[in-house]
């Protein structure tokens, strides 16, 4: 089959690999019809995630058709159209019983924090991802969600990570009616966090970024205010000015470890690697929230050290919540929001690219060329979806 093939930092291509096979009676094989590139895939692509092995197949946001199931699988059958949450989870451990699916204790024996994730290095279990024609889906009775007939694949694929992550960011912010919510980052997750903030009762939503076309998009899509941090000097000061000098009630970090905007963070985190990436967005979130406000973090940070102003957080009495999204917990109510017209996830898709052009697709997304917000890769055997793929090689 054709699949992505990581060759080292900034080098990825599509090449032939053996088809996946049923390795356990609980497995399913899914023929992928769409797989997104995620902002967090860029951390892999840039070589920032430890133990990202040459040859690894990336991709944790995919939908497809069940091709084959193991003998123990009871709820899926060949032909079922499924979305597969990015988390691999067992459904029965201490954490899964509490619906903390991203913290499953059984799917990532290498780590004590995060559970298994498709296509996200051996630090999350080493599972092959879905930027491929086929993918093996372990514990197929637990993770995959059958896509209802009235939900299109373009919406469903965004339910595997980006939308639930943005939504959970707003949920963890514990937004009260009328609150001012500031979202750092106008990528897909930040866009969905801003949109979701209204659903939790926000009175005002402000998004901070420096990529002008993304700020333009989020202003229209989420009907929010925007700040280009390159234009305002001190971001925290600017936000205080906009909020009667109190600060925002809730700040959401939807950026993570590759933030721009602070020379000190960039030097220590991205050039000399003295910390695990640059935590600029989190720094701003802590300094922009009001005293006793809430900071919610869904931007991806690696393990070990980041330079975070924890003293400010303590003295301000901030509540901080963070986690990787427990995707499957959110899918049913997000489907209802899509049906009601409150959320239109597919509108953020800007590129539909044949899987063969994965190298160019990563380059365009990473470089923020061509007004790229969300890229969907479409494999050769995607069926009718293949006709919607457009070459990006000119
Ligand atoms: Zn993702
Ligand atoms: Zn579990």
pLDDT, position 275: 64
* CA 15 to ligand 2 centroid distance, Å: 33
Predicted model pTM: 0.95
* CA 60 to ligand 1 centroid distance, Å: 6
* CA 162 to ligand 1 centroid distance, Å: 6
* CA 323 to ligand 1 centroid distance, Å: 13
Residues at Cβ < 5 Å from ligand 2 ion: 89-90, 93, 96, 104, 106
131, 35 contact by CB (below 8 A): yes
pLDDT, position 113: 75
* CA 252 to ligand 2 centroid distance, Å: 27
H-helix segments, 222-357: 235-242, 263-266, 280-288, 310-316, 327-340
Please give the chain's pLDDT, 394 residues, in tens.
999 999 999 999 999 999 999 999 999 999 999 999 999 999 999 998 889 999 999 999 999 999 999 999 999 999 999 999 999 999 999 999 999 999 999 999 776 778 999 999 999 999 999 999 999 999 999 999 999 999 999 999 999 999 999 999 999 999 999 999 999 999 999 999 999 999 999 999 999 999 999 999 999 999 999 999 999 989 999 999 999 999 999 999 998 777 676 776 666 666 666 665 667 889 899 999 999 999 999 987 766 667 788 889 999 999 999 999 999 999 999 999 999 999 999 999 999 999 999 999 999 999 989 999 999 999 999 999 899 999 998 7
| E strand map for the chain | 2-8, 11-16, 28-37, 62-69, 81-84, 87-88, 116-117, 134-137, 145-146, 180-184, 204-209, 225-228, 248-253, 289-297, 319-322, 349-354, 374-378
Report helix, strand or coil for 352: strand
Q: Which residue has the tokens 């903390």?
A: 100
Give how far Cα 99 sits from Cα of 95, 139, 327, Å.
6, 16, 10
pLDDT, position 279: 74
Ligand closest to 90 (CA) is 2
pLDDT, position 269: 66
């Amino acid at each position: 089959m054709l699949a992505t093939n990581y060759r080292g930092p900034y080098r990825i291509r599509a090449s032939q690999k053996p088809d996946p096979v049923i390795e356990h009676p609980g497995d399913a094989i899914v023929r992928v019809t769409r797989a997104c590139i995620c902002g967090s895939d860029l951390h892999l692509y840039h070589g920032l995630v430890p133990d990202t092995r040459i040859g690894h197949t990336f991709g944790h946001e995919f939908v497809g058709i069940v091709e084959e199931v193991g003998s123990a699988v009871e709820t899926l059958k060949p032909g079922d159209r499924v979305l597969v949450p990015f988390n691999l989870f067992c459904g029965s451990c201490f954490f899964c019983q509490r619906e903390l699916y991203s913290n499953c204790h059984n799917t990532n024996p290498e780590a004590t924090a995060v559970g298994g994730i498709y296509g996200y290095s051996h630090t999350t279990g080493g599972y092959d991802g879905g930027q491929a024609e086929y993918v093996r889906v372990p514990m197929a009775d637990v993770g995959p969600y059958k896509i209802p007939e009235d939900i299109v694949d373009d919406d469903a694929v965004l339910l595997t990570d980006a939308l639930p992550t943005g939504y959970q960011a707003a949920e963890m912010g514990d937004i009260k009616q009328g609150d001012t919510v500031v979202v750092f980052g106008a990528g897909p997750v930040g866009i969905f966090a801003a949109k979701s903030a209204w659903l939790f009762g926000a009175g005002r939503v402000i998004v901070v970024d420096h990529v002008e076309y993304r700020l333009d998009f989020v202003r229209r899509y989420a009907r929010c205010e925007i700040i280009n941090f390159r234009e305002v000097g001190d971001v925290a000061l600017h936000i205080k000015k906009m909020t009667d000098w109190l600060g925002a009630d809730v700040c959401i970090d939807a950026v993570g470890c590759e933030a721009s905007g602070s020379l000190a963070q960039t030097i220590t985190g991205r050039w000399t690697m003295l910390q695990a990436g640059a935590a600029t967005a989190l720094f701003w979130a802590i300094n922009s929230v009001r005293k006793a406000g809430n900071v919610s973090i869904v931007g991806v940070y690696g393990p070990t050290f980041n330079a975070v102003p924890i003293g400010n957080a303590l003295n301000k009495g901030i509540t901080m919540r963070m986690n990787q999204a427990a995707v499957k917990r959110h899918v049913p109510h997000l489907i209802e929001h899509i049906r009601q017209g409150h959320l239109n996830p597919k509108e953020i898709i800007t590129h539909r690219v044949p899987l063969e052009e994965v190298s160019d697709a990563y380059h365009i997304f990473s470089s923020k060329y061509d007004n790229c917000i969300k890229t969907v890769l479409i494999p050769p055997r995607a069926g009718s979806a293949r006709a919607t793929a457009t070459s990006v090689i000119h």
